[in-house]
Structure 1
Amino acid sequence: MDLDAVRTFVTVADGGRFQDAAAALSVTQQAVSKRIATLEKSLGVRLFTRGARGATLTIDGQAFLPHARDLLRAEERALASVRPGSRALRVDVIGRRLAPASLLRDFRRVHPAAELDVVTLFDVDAAVDAVRSGTIDASFRAVTMPGRRLPDDIEAARVFDEPIHLLTGPAHALAAARAVTPAELAGHRIWMPGLVPGTEWGAYYDALAAAFALTIEITGPDFGTEPLLDTIADSRSLATFVGERTHLVWPADHGLRRIALRDPAPVYPHSLIWHRDNTHPTLAALRADLRTRRAGHSPTGTWAPGWAQRGTDG
Structure 2
Amino acid sequence: MDVAALRTFVAVAETGQFQAAADELGISQQAVSKRIAALERHIKVTLLVRTSRGSQLSLDGQVFLPHAKKVLAAVEQAEQAVRPGSRPLRVDVLNRRISPAQVVYRFYRSHPGAELDAVTLSQENAAQAAQAVLDGTVDASFRALPTDQVPAGISAERLLDTPLELLVGPRHPLADVSRVSPADLGGHRIWIPGIRPSTEWAAFYQALSEAFGLSIDALGPNFGDEALMDTLADSASLATLVGSEDRYLWPQTHDLRRIPLHDPTPVYPHVLLFRSGDQHPVLTALRDHLRTTDPPSPHDVWAPDWVTR
Shorter chain as normaliser: what TM range? 0.7 to 0.9
**Mapping for residues 118-267 of structure 1, pairs under 5 Å:** 118-121=118-121, 122=123, 123-144=125-146, 148-267=148-267
Distance 1:83 1:257, change over 3 A: same
Q: Shift of the alpha carbon at 1:303?
A: 1.1
Distance 1:115 1:262, change over 3 A: same
Partners of 2:226 and 2:93 in 1: CA distance: 20
Determine the C-alpha separation between the residues in 1 that align with 2:290 and 2:306.
21
Distance 1:22 1:93, change over 3 A: same
**Residue 37 of structure 1: how far off its partner (Å):** 6.0
Q: Which runs of 4+ in 1 moved over 4 A?
A: 26-29, 35-40, 71-80
Aligned length: 264
**Offset at 1:194?**
2.0
Over residues 194-228 of structure 1, what are the superposed CA-to-partner deviations in whole Å (9 max), with x where a residue is unaligned? 21121111111111111111100011111111111
Q: CA deviation at 1:286?
A: 1.2
In the superposition, relative to structure 1, how do residues 29 and 250 fare at CA in structure 2: closer, same or farther (>3 Å)? farther
Contact 1:80 1:87 in 2 (8 A): no
Which runs of 5 or more residues in structure 1 are unaligned? 1-20, 41-68
Q: Which amino acid aligns with 1:304?
A: A
The residue correspondences of 1:268-279 to structure 2 (distance < 5 A) are 268-279=268-279
Instruction: Give the percent of matched residue pairs that are identical in Structure 1 and Structure 2.
Output: 50
Contact 2:194–2:220 (Cα < 8 Å) also in 1:
no
SS at match of 1:239: strand
Residues 96 and 268 (structure 1), Cα distance of their counterparts in 2 relative to 1, 3 Å cut: same
Q: For residues 305 and 74 of structure 1, what CA distance do their matches in structure 2 show?
A: 50
Are the structure 2 counterparts of residues 80 and 187 from structure 1 closer, same or farther at C-alpha, using a change threshold of 3 Å? same
Alignment partner, residue 26 of structure 2: none
Label 1:302 to 1:85 Cα distance change in 2 as closer, same or farther (>3 A): same
- The answer on whether the counterparts of 2:127 and 2:145 sit within 8 Å (CA) in structure 1 is no
The separation in 1 between residues aligned to 2:59 and 2:174, in whole angstroms, is: 81
Deviation, structure 1 residue 293: 2.4
Corresponding position of 2:57: 30
* Distance across 2 between alignment mates of 1:74 and 1:99: 41
Deviation by residue 1:210-249 (Cα, 9 ceiling, x = unmatched): 1111100011111111111111111111110000111111
Equivalent residue number for residue 297 of structure 1: 296
CA contact (8 A) 2:194 2:219 kept: no
How many angstroms does 1:83 deviate by? Answer: 2.2
2:278 paired with 1:306 = no
What TM-score, normalized to structure 1? 0.74
AA in 1 matched with 2:302: W
In structure 1, C-alpha distance between the alignment counterparts of 2:229 and 2:80, rounded to whole Å: 44
Matched residue, 1:64: none
Q: Deviations over 1:117-171 (max 9, x none)?
A: 11212321121101111221111111116xx421232111110111101011111
Equivalent position of 1:6 in the other structure: none
> SS of the residue aligned with 2:107?
helix
- CA deviation profile, 1:252-300 (whole Å, cap 9, x unmatched): 1111111111111111111111111311111111111112124x62441
Q: Which amino acid is 2:203 matched to?
A: A
Q: Are the aligned partners of 2:95 and 2:101 in contact in 1 as well (CA < 8 Å)?
A: yes
Partners of 2:261 and 2:95 in 1: how far apart?
23
Amino acid in structure 2 at the alignment position of 1:118: A
Partner residue, 2:285: 285
Verify the 8 A CA contact 2:145 2:200 in the aligned structure 1. Answer: yes
Match of 2:10 in 1: none
Give the match's secondary structure for 1:232. helix
Contact kept in structure 1, 2:267 and 2:302, CA below 8 Å: yes
TM-score, with length taken from structure 2: 0.75
AA of the residue aligned to 2:172: H
Return closer, same or farther for 1:107/1:32 CA change in 2, 3 Å cut-off.
farther
Q: Is the 8 A contact 2:269 2:303 kept in 1?
A: yes
Aligned equivalents of 1:97, 1:77: Cα separation in 2:
37
CA RMSD after TM alignment: 3.2
